[in-house]
Structure 1
Amino acid sequence: MLSEDTVKTLVDKGLEERSDLFLIDLKIGAGNKISVVIDGDNGVTVDDCIFMSRAIEHNLDREEEDFSLDVASAGATSPLVSKRQYKKNIGRALGVKTNANAKFEGVLTEVDDNELTLEWKAREPKPVGKGKIVVNKQAKIKYDDVLEAKVIIKF
């Protein structure tokens, strides 16, 4: 069976050549099925997947050990798992579930090494009198507290 360390080394070498790409997931399953998921600071094209596939495949010997290889981009509805993914999605709507079971939905406005910032508008009762007013809300959420975060795609 192929070693995950061997494949990871090949992925890392490919990523050294393409610093705009980064690894999201790497798995080696039964029958040496290699599955690689990548993302990029500017998105991922088919050519990016081909590049990464070649970086791996051309450095493994099928005579020594047979394998199948699947290189894909992180899908639009896939959860965000890397801080780099948050950075590239600034300005987009995000849905976040926290470890404390809180749910937030807003525009990702800021990220740093420790947390992300979401902003949204909410209608709340007026402090005095009847009716409601629109107020700006903000939540700063530490990455360690994020259970799941997904980009919200509206049609």
Structure 2
Amino acid sequence: MELKEQVEKLLAEAFEENKSLFLIDFTITPDNQIKVIIDGDKGVSVNDCIAVSRKVEHNLDREEEDFSLEVTSAGVTEPLQKMRQYKKNVGRKLQVKTESEKFEGNLTDVSDSGIVLQWKAREPKPKGKGKVTVSKEAVLEYSAIVEAKVMITF
């Protein structure tokens, strides 16, 4: 079995053991540096990274093939890539870019096809002077999203 296939199988077993964790990305360089990025429905602890790392490392034979292994969690500043990441961030403020527009709003709903963002905006009154606060909403298909990031507010 090829190294990539072995690692994929071991990762699947690790995620079977802890169903709240899931894979974001996984690469192997030509010199066998294995890099795994994981996320979790309830976040990722250091112990989660250690458990996934051990599952992979302890079941590969360095005598057969030398390798290095790095297991990390998806960073707060990393763009969202998987539907499960959107689901765990419902209620948080996102910045979402499409080909033509940029939205900032609260993630209020996640479906199989896309997301719903809501925000408030100040607009000129339909009649007379002054401005009025209006609620806005954008329904965005995943296919239209170029990049989506959680906005960190302090």
Same-fold call, TM cutoff 0.5:
yes
Q: Could you tell me how far 1:6 is from its partner in structure 2?
A: 1.8
SS in 1 for 2:85: helix
- Map 1:1-150 onto structure 2 (within 5 A): 3-98=3-98, 100-150=99-149
The TM-score, its normalising length taken from structure 1, stands at 0.96
* In structure 2, distance between residues paired with 1:80 and 1:6: 27
The TM-score, its normalising length taken from structure 2, stands at 0.97
SS in 1 for 2:31: helix
* In structure 2, distance between residues paired with 1:130 and 1:67: 68
* In structure 2, distance between residues paired with 1:60 and 1:121: 53
SS in 2 for 1:10: helix
* In structure 2, distance between residues paired with 1:18 and 1:93: 28
Give the share of equivalent positions with the same residue, in percent.
Answer: 58
* In structure 1, distance between residues paired with 2:44 and 2:30: 27
How many residues align? The count is: 153
SS in 1 for 2:5: helix
Q: Could you tell me how far 1:30 is from its partner in structure 2?
A: 3.1
Runs of 5+ unmatched residues, structure 1? none
Q: Could you tell me how far 1:112 is from its partner in structure 2?
A: 0.9
After the TM superposition, list the runs of 4 or more consecutive aligned residues in structure 1 that deviate by more than 2 angstroms.
none
* In structure 1, distance between residues paired with 2:59 and 2:144: 39
Question: What residue number does 1:153 align with?
Answer: 152
Runs of 5+ unmatched residues, structure 2? none
